[in-house]
Amino acid sequence: MDHSAVKTTQVMGVLNVTPDSFSDGGLWFDHDRAVAHGLELMATGADIIDVGGESTRPGSARVDEAEELRRVVPVVRELAAAGAVISVDTMRARVAEESLAAGADIINDVSAGQSDPTMLSVAAETSAPIVLMHWRGYLGQASATFHYDDVVAEVIAELRTRIDEAIAVGVKPENIIVDPGLGFSKNADHNWQLLAALDEFAALDHRLLVAASRKRFIASLLSPDDPKQAEPAAKDQATATISAISAQAGAWAVRVHDPATSAIACKVIAAVGQHSPAAHPAANPGSGGVSQ
């Protein structure tokens, strides 16, 4: 990471307009409540709102395209009009295209272009940044955990393939955002190993997104006997700690349900980065006064 250009890691707030998402399914399913929650996410520290209309929760059935459009596009339009920067969490090119036309800025495809053969060309033609997330089970095996001999090396190799495919259809390297896909076809040990190796993902030389928020492996750490009993505030505190680790590794953004706690974590890491000797090579340590 180049410490002379320390940037604050962006906070992406999750807005699931679904009846069945993993941690907040049903809460924001109604249009007005979804928009109100999007505004609340912005007010509490989100730089980007990630609007999704299809749950990827293990075992959930796919929604049809018309229903996904109905859920997502009006919410995107209203939040964009209110000044939000929006990513659209979808595996469908048409939902991405219509959301971009309604004011979205970024495509977030958890299948990294594998689910819809035209997704990567939409990203190329619109020049919209696109999140390419690692996931092996995007076609009907959402809950499957796969075998890895070396999860870090294999996830990086598979992401490199997705990156090459995107570049081959004309997506500019600077518009590619990579995401290790925590919890997607991975068990808790895999997720922790990936988090321990975030530097390697940052070294791929694309923007890095990390999305750990409230996932099962966090709940299992906090409440091993019964993950469902993990306290929501404790899960958000653990998520914010992961946001700090991600920011320290140079992540461009963290995707979270509670922006307030993660925004503080990212701010702290940015302040430390801005005051590091590498950011101020000419500074004379010890010349400053003492402050609180």
In the bound state, the residue with its beta carbon closest to ligand PMM is 211
**Binding flag, residue 98, ligand PMM (CB under 6 A):** no
Phi-psi region of 253 (alpha: psi -120 to 50; beta: other; left: phi over 0): beta
**Binding flag, residue 262, ligand PMM (CB under 6 A):** no
In the beta sheet, which residues pair with residue 208? Answer: 178
Considering beta carbons, is residue 56 or 99 the nearer one to ligand PMM? 56
Both tokens of 61, joined, read 């059935």
**Binding flag, residue 119, ligand PMM (CB under 6 A):** no
Least Å distance, CB 92 to ligand PMM, is: 14
- CB under 8 Å, gap of 24 or more: what pairs does 188-191 form? 188/216, 188/217, 188/220, 188/221, 190/145, 190/148, 190/151, 191/215, 191/217
**Binding flag, residue 131, ligand PMM (CB under 6 A):** yes
**Binding flag, residue 110, ligand PMM (CB under 6 A):** yes
In the beta sheet, which residues pair with residue 207? Answer: 177
Least Å distance, CB 182 to ligand PMM, is: 5
State the DSSP string of 188-256: HHHHHHHHHTHHHHHTTSSEEEE--TT-HHHHHHH-TT-GGGS-HHHHHHHHHHHHHHHHHTT-SEEEE
Considering beta carbons, is residue 73 or 217 the nearer one to ligand PMM? 217
**Binding flag, residue 23, ligand PMM (CB under 6 A):** yes
Considering beta carbons, is residue 42 or 142 the nearer one to ligand PMM? 142
Query: Where along the sequence are the contacts to ligand PMM (CB under 6 A)?
Result: 14, 16, 21-23, 56-57, 89, 108, 110, 131, 133, 179, 181-182, 209, 211, 255
